[in-house]
Homo-oligomer: A and B are copies of this chain.
Amino acid sequence: MRERRYSSTSPELLAAALFDVAAAAGLDNTSVREVAKKAGVSIGAVQHHFATKESMFAYALRAVVDRIHRRIATVHEADAEQALVAMLGQLLPLDEDRAREAHVLAAFSVRAATTPSLATIRRQARFAVRTLLSSVLIESGVPDAEARAALLLSCAEGLALAAVGAPEDHPAVYLTRALELQVRMTLWDADADLPPVELAS
């Protein structure tokens, strides 16, 4: 009988294994069995930490969004344009690690449509990132900072989603240039006199 290694199995290890399986095979093909296999533990060991597949997914999603949030929150650039490009760049597949993250994060975003616990985590994570972005925009004096922050985030997530299925069309230099253009469009008209856009959420 296979030895159970409960003591050497942590939720963090299982979340990392889940991430690796999902990044390689897609979240659709990420089962408790596959996660256990990747982590080198028994199915029982996984079930010891996570009673349901949904709770395992929620834990793994939180680990990913927390990691990305930490990177965004610790960007230190005095210049608003450079700060925003560096912050949003954490969401783009600019290297192998971020390409895997973008794939897994997009998959969780879609699954949020049918899984309330994942929807709550995605919602909170987007709100937290939007707050960091809008702080930079408010300091820059642009109007509609909240709405612009939401657009910056949507652009980055939309670019990442397109790149997930066609990485060869989205090399890092292209993604960075696109992001820079969006940030410049967002900051350009700090002095323009336009009617404010109400944010409904």
Which residues on A are within 8 Å of B, measured CB to CB? 25-29, 103, 106-107, 109-114, 118-119, 122-123, 126, 144, 147-148, 150-151, 153-159, 161-162, 164-166, 169-171, 173-174, 177-178, 180-182, 184-186, 188-189, 192, 194, 197-201
Contacts and interface: CB of A to CB of B under 8 A. Distances in A.
The DSSP consensus for interface residues of chain A is helix
A177 B161 contact: no
A194 B146 CA distance: 26
A165 B118 contact: yes
A25 B113 CA distance: 9
The quantity of this chain's copies bound in the complex is 2
A164 B110 contact: yes
B197 A178 contact: yes
B197 A165 contact: no
B197 A109 contact: no
